[in-house]
Structure 1
Amino acid sequence: MAVLVMDAFQGTYGINYGRIADNIPEPESVVTLLKAARIRNIRMYDADHGVLKAFKHSGIEIIIGLGNEFLKDISVSEDRAMDWVKQNVEPFLPETRIRGVAVGNEVLGGNNPELWEVLLPAVKNVHHALDQAHLASVVQVSSPHSAAVFATSFPPSAGAFKESVMPYMKPLLEFFSRIHSPFYINTYPFLAYINDPEHIDINYALFLKNPGIYDDKTNLHYDNMFEAQIDGSYAALEKAGFGKTEVIVSETGWASHGDPNEAGATVKNARTYNLNLRRKLAKKKGTPYRPKTPVKAYVFAIFNENLKPGPTSERNFGLFKADGSISYDIGFTGLKPSSASSLLLSLQKTGAQGWLNSLLIVYSTCTIAVLLLIL
């Protein structure tokens, strides 16, 4: 009999907490940052104990990660999975709200067939360990996928999994269906756009006004790529026999800087995408094909990560800079005040308020208003 599991994702807006960097704030400061932004859901890529301790009593719900490098070991026996759960999950509950374990990341469709073989056994062993520890109703097991698992996703109704991954995907989906886990997909309109900027309307990728696309099979119109990609996932799930499985976006985002060949990787476009995405998720509405299922997504990522390998864009997906200040304004407040605010605070602390008041007299009415607002 399947265990009814609490949803790992309460709400619709989450964020990925990547830490491949040597200059980002300490976890305790990240908690402050997330609380100020009213972000209640995060996804990690490991189960770092320092981070989990920092999030104690924060009320923030967390999906922790079991990295691909551990899959083979965990798949070998239930005892090894139990040891992992006893070390990385059990000691932190309930004070730290661990709500899910993501077993592996983008395994199927990747270039390591050995990991394809061990993914399902690892997933089953982690779930069994949670069940034995009486945590299976609190902690949900999942495994995020990349778009590489699809043979096609355009138009959305044509969405289908690659034949090469189906011998592994279908039994995985069967198990997740039994334990009521959703299908997690990392979906990036940014990546689609930079791979084909000549044929993809950037406005379609950025949620801006555009003609959109029409799906003849479903008679549905799409005015943004994000929802089209989600519905492509639903179509693939239906063809595989899992039409009732919910799709959740485990990663999406837009780079604010990139290499010369990474079209559209600008601060303006990153702000546009993430601001419009945030507004869309706040409406708690569904997609054209699944209008009654609110879209849920984890944005990538909290910080720019300076040690990530790969093209420049990989190090510039953060909504916040390494020092905790905002990368661009989508309504969040950073840990570090602006330079203007810092100057005014410094003047006040050093007793220069009188000098500051005299200076304000010389400025135009508009400038005075702006500075007073800062004060």
Structure 2
Amino acid sequence: MARSSPLLITFLTVIAAATSVTGDNKVGICFGRNSDDLPPPFAIVDIVKNNHISKVRLFNTDAPTLQAFKDSGIELMIGVPNENLTYIANGGVDAAANWLKTNIFNHVPANQVKYIAVGNEVLLRDTFYAESIVPAMKNLHQALKNQNLDKKIKLSSPQASSVVGSSSPPSSAAFTEAALPVIRPLLAFLKETGAPLMVNTYPYFAYASDPKNVPLSFTLFSSDAPPVQDSGITYTNMFEASLDAFVVAMEKEGYTDIPLTVTETGWPTAGGIGAEPTKAAVYNNNVIMRALAGKGTPKRPKIPVEVYLFDLLDENLKEGSEFEKYFGIFNLDGSTAFSVRFA
């Protein structure tokens, strides 16, 4: 009898475990719209609901999309585009209130919004707007407070893993000097308002950029992955190690209890080394299983990590490496691109 590969064993184990997990659904999905062949918005809502997905991240405030999600029972994270940050930061609370009303609350009820993501990876891709992040968040928070919505809707700003310098092992992690002028007031704001630090993490990027030195098994949660020992903690996968790098970096700034929300993570199905449906299934199902089980990180095992998988559909207009176009978990007809279970 042929011996099963560790990857296949991991895949089958995860699928079996995912079918038996119960509890609060802490898994959402991102809906990127960099494509010229998207289904209509109401078809998108159907895909989400038919797959028992209870929360969605939208990167901007496209009105037809918001209107399609209205009263759907789906919880939303809605993004403030980077190019809007200066207006909201400089315009004060009135500008923030006007932006919220015009772009969000005219299209979807406030009780359907869980998060507002203020910018996305600004420190990686749009540093011109960096100084506007926290002032914009403060103005938006006050505008929400004036409407008694500040307890319901939390504000944060998704950061790329690049804001953390050396992170291997996680205990060596610290925020980069370039990021600190924004990160320090951001953390203070998150602590004050009870909001999570939003992070985007992609173990695939680390593997694809250095496949000779980054074990594929460590990025894919394989049972035969070489463990990493770090200050008495054993790491068996890169996903948890990358999250604890953020935890350590926050601790070094004096913050020990700000939760993490993973606002993007995923694995491509084409376009690059190791990019294929089977590996995408293994990665995504492992992340789902951990989130559904309310699992934290090795450093903070009792603090659950909320996760939004990237991405709902492929994005054929996405710039960058070819694999960036192929993170879609679903096909255009609503079928899954690989075996995955959200509940």
- Using the size of structure 1 for normalisation, the TM-score is 0.81
Distance 1:140 1:112 in 2: 23
CA distances 1:6-26 after superposition (whole Å, capped 9, x unpaired): xxxx73111101111121211
Q: Is the contact made by 1:53 and 1:96 (CA closer than 8 Å) also made in structure 2?
A: no
Q: Which residue of 1 aligns with 2:114?
A: 99
Is 1:237 aligned to residue 247 of structure 2?
Answer: no
Match of 1:220 among 233, 245, 248: 233
Distance 1:320 1:211 in 2: 28
Distance 2:72 2:110 in 1: 8
Q: Which moved more, 1:130-139 or 1:16-25?
A: 130-139
Structure 1: any 5+ residue segments left out of the alignment?
Answer: 1-9, 334-375
Distance 2:160 2:309 in 1: 15
Distance 2:289 2:140 in 1: 36
Q: Which residue of 2 aligns with 1:292?
A: 302
Q: Which residue of 2 aligns with 1:19?
A: 33
Q: Which residue of 2 aligns with 1:41?
A: 55
Q: Is the contact made by 2:203 and 2:239 (CA closer than 8 Å) also made in structure 1?
A: yes
CA distances 1:53-87 after superposition (whole Å, capped 9, x unpaired): 11122111001010001111111122221110111
Q: Is the contact made by 2:225 and 2:237 (CA closer than 8 Å) also made in structure 1?
A: no
Q: Is the contact made by 2:288 and 2:342 (CA closer than 8 Å) also made in structure 1?
A: no
Distance 1:62 1:194 in 2: 31
Match of 1:264 among 267, 274, 287: 274
Q: Is the contact made by 1:66 and 1:103 (CA closer than 8 Å) also made in structure 2?
A: yes
Determine helix, strand or coil for the equivalent of 1:249.
strand
CA distances 1:277-331 after superposition (whole Å, capped 9, x unpaired): 2222222222211110122210001000111112211110000123333211224
In the TM superposition, residue 91 of structure 1 has moved relative to its aligned partner by 2.9
Determine helix, strand or coil for the equivalent of 1:198.
coil
Q: Is the contact made by 1:305 and 1:322 (CA closer than 8 Å) also made in structure 2?
A: no
Distance 2:105 2:147 in 1: 8
Higher relative contact order (CA 8 A, sep 6+): 2
Instruction: Give the direction of change, closer, same or farther, for the CA distance of 1:264–1:245 in structure 2 (3 Å limit).
Output: same
Is 1:208 aligned to residue 222 of structure 2?
Answer: yes
Distance 1:91 1:34 in 2: 22
Distance 2:126 2:338 in 1: 37
**Residues paired across the two proteins, number:** 319
Instruction: Give the direction of change, closer, same or farther, for the CA distance of 1:76–1:135 in structure 2 (3 Å limit).
Output: same
Q: Is the contact made by 1:23 and 1:323 (CA closer than 8 Å) also made in structure 2?
A: no
One-letter code of the match for 2:210? D
Determine helix, strand or coil for the equivalent of 1:102.
strand
Determine helix, strand or coil for the equivalent of 1:77.
helix
Distance 2:106 2:126 in 1: 33
Determine helix, strand or coil for the equivalent of 1:128.
helix
Q: Is the contact made by 2:269 and 2:327 (CA closer than 8 Å) also made in structure 1?
A: yes
Q: Which residue of 1 aligns with 2:340?
A: 330
Distance 2:167 2:85 in 1: 28
Instruction: Give the direction of change, closer, same or farther, for the CA distance of 1:291–1:87 in structure 2 (3 Å limit).
Output: same
Match of 1:138 among 120, 137, 152: 152
Q: Which residue of 2 aligns with 1:373?
A: none
One-letter code of the match for 2:203? P
One-letter code of the match for 1:70? N
One-letter code of the match for 2:36? D
Distance 2:342 2:307 in 1: 17
Determine helix, strand or coil for the equivalent of 1:231.
helix
- Using the size of structure 2 for normalisation, the TM-score is 0.88
Q: Which residue of 2 aligns with 1:347?
A: none
Q: Is the contact made by 1:56 and 1:96 (CA closer than 8 Å) also made in structure 2?
A: no
Determine helix, strand or coil for the equivalent of 1:160.
coil
Instruction: Give the direction of change, closer, same or farther, for the CA distance of 1:124–1:289 in structure 2 (3 Å limit).
Output: same
* Cα root mean square deviation, aligned: 1.8
CA distances 1:142-166 after superposition (whole Å, capped 9, x unpaired): 1000011011111111121001211
In the TM superposition, residue 111 of structure 1 has moved relative to its aligned partner by 4.9
Distance 1:229 1:171 in 2: 22
Determine helix, strand or coil for the equivalent of 1:152.
coil
Structure 2: any 5+ residue segments left out of the alignment?
Answer: 1-23
One-letter code of the match for 1:46? N
